[in-house]
Chain A
Amino acid sequence: AQSVTQLGSHVSVSEGALVLLRCNYSSSVPPYLFWYVQYPNQGLQLLLKYTSAATLVKGINGFEAEFKKSETSFHLTKPSAHMSDAAEYFCAVSAPGTSGNTGKLIFGQGTTLQVKP
């Protein structure tokens, strides 16, 4: 079975500061991992994904994440926050190696990122 835990339901940073959103996963098979962003009253947009290639993954809008198997983590970072980054961020896992896998995503609880001027 797979699960995702996002540490911190709310993160607040100043504009220009480092953004760090934490995600830990549990999976009985090598996982695929994703970060999605949701702006108010909108759908989910894929930021980046890890699908067993390079462990450091670069995404859109300057975000990146590093897959660390030993720590079962997939934390999302951005060197310098922008006001437009304020949104809800979701980490998700799927289990491509499982029998009958259908790609269903298991989501974390979400983290609200607030960016202060």
Chain B
Amino acid sequence: DTAVSQTPKYLVTQMGNDKSIKCEQNLGHDTMYWYKQDSKKFLKIMFSYNNKELIINETVPNRFSPKSPDKAHLNLHINSLELGDSAVYFCASGGTDTQYFGPGTRLTVL
């Protein structure tokens, strides 16, 4: 069983479109995260939810909106996609002493 799964794995789209990435974890954790890895492989936290409540919102454009329908799912919706949004987006779940990462979603905006 995959602990943290993301769909889709690859996403290619045009500027201006709206897209969503889904994440699910079966580890029973209360906390889930979204991280962004840029073209230089730098990883940065974007959001965190704890039991469906938003607890971290880093300085991310409001075109990005996370949604957590339940504590096992954390989705990321992006409006009006821009070229600079091209990156790999990782979902993670866990807590202060361990986080487990999903396989990533490579988003390419043309």
Q: Which residues of A does B touch, CB under 8 Å? A: 32, 36, 38, 41-46, 49, 51, 88, 90, 92, 94, 96, 100-107, 109-110
- Cross-chain pair count, CB within 8 angstroms: 65
* Cβ contact of B99, chosen from A38, A41, A96, A103, cutoff 8 A: A103
Separation of A49 and B42 alpha carbons in the complex (Å):
20
Q: Report whether A49 and B104 are in contact in the complex, using a CB–CB cutoff of 8 Å.
A: no
**When chains A and B are docked, how far (Å) is the Cα of A96 from the Cα of B106?**
30
Q: Complex Cα distance A51/B43, Å?
A: 21
Q: Indicate whether A110 sits within 8 Å of B41 (C-beta atoms), given known contacts A43-B102, A102-B48.
A: yes
The docked-state distance in angstroms from the alpha carbon of A49 to that of B100 is 12
Say yes or no: B90 contacts A43, CB within 8 Å: yes
Give every chain B residue within 8 A of A38 (Cβ-Cβ): 41
CB distance from B103 to the nearest CB of A (A): 4
Chain A positions within 8 Å of B94 at CB level: 103
Contact A46 B100 (CB under 8 A): yes
A-B contact pairs, 11 of them (CB 8 A): A43-B4, A46-B100, A49-B98, A88-B41, A92-B43, A96-B96, A103-B33, A104-B45, A104-B56, A105-B45, A109-B40
